[in-house]
Structure 1
């Protein structure tokens, strides 16, 4: 791709999005980042030269303005996602309707490449509403933009991640760590490695790629928590929460969030519980990091940096 061409990124200030923007900037590309609050995304500008990264206030759900956002783009990347619903933001609206409209407008505007970030385990057959919406979103995007690239990462880790930071924080205030699905398997993947693959897709102009990205090592949920506790030198009881009990707890939490809104924290949702009922590992026949000649960074190398502020010693 020529440095004069425009790449438009939706969700560019999020956990994965910021790394994608940085990787694209290193290619010298002009990047247009659509964010709800540009003032909270000013840090992105330091990733590029003066004028290289343009911040535009907007929302992927604003159907009438999408055309304005993507006009003149050679590539559009959708990094927008949520792990829980709110009164004003449902899985289906964000992951399906908004993604479909974005892909449809991108195709109409002559965008040559569309990259949609989904998640490993996404399927319209999933029992999890979250993963079901992700699967429906993939289908909706491909319906409107048949040559789109679909990227499905496993559990993403990095300095700003919610997984390890959340459990590390919990370990500092609780004598036990509740775990739903302790034997569920993951292939944790480093956030910048995922961003590199996305950047390489843009650089090479590849289309119609279906990528499942996971690290070289597979861990159970329990093993991830043990690894975390060992790193921050804390001894905590890992308390297994049976799925039957977790579903009741999560459904109760979802109910009160529906009634009271965001004042109730989304500490456990029914969609998350159902996602944990199935392993989150890469399929044998999918494209992987090796196809891009990238050696995924190992969790044990990055974890000390992620949780250093929680280290007891």
Structure 2
């Protein structure tokens, strides 16, 4: 009887203990993604290709992204310039690689900052509730009623735009919405039987939140992060398009769309087509990959 009781307690205290497989966790996810969610897998492939190319920009770029050559202006795609050149003779392939690198780097940094902070705030607020939760929710209501893009433009104009400031400002702007989502999930998880069992056995609140609440909302955090990345990339591109992105001569996808890209749209439309197509593909890929990942990670959606 003692052995049976101990096993039952372990099941209650560790409801999401991962099972180890000889093939590894990531290959298993990829196999499920490829077999059950081919559209989501195609999004993953797009992200790997674009993200890998951006990460390897110093290796793949044939020319410095700021190098001008007025004798090679408005060239169509060729072996020397795979995507053509712009109005200053700069290689569009090199600028697209570095622009993607900068835009994706800012987006990833901002989302990581937002999700880490939102997870801490959301778990504490949802688990404890009470007056702290009420104050936090009213603050979030106020923040979500404000025009986020206008606030970001104001802050970028006041403190100056660079990679670090954009990561911090965009990340902070995404904390309230993310923390509300996480908090709403935690409110339901805290009433689950295994959480009640852990409390009755004297487990500390910090231990319960770390070992029982967090693992059971991990799939929500991951799904939210992938979808948020698509939205943040649009924000980064919008700031760059409006002139509040990283300063010249550093390229970003939004800045490549505006300015010279619009000015020379008739003469050299590829100057705007390439960054616009990249933004569209990345956002689309993150959305379909996030949906597929949610279905795989959420036990309630398995088999759908």
Short-chain TM bin: under 0.3
Structure with higher strand content? 1
Structure with bigger RCO (C-alpha 8 Å, 6+ apart): 2
Normalised by the length of structure 1, the TM-score is 0.22
**So what's the TM-score if we normalise by structure 2?**
0.23
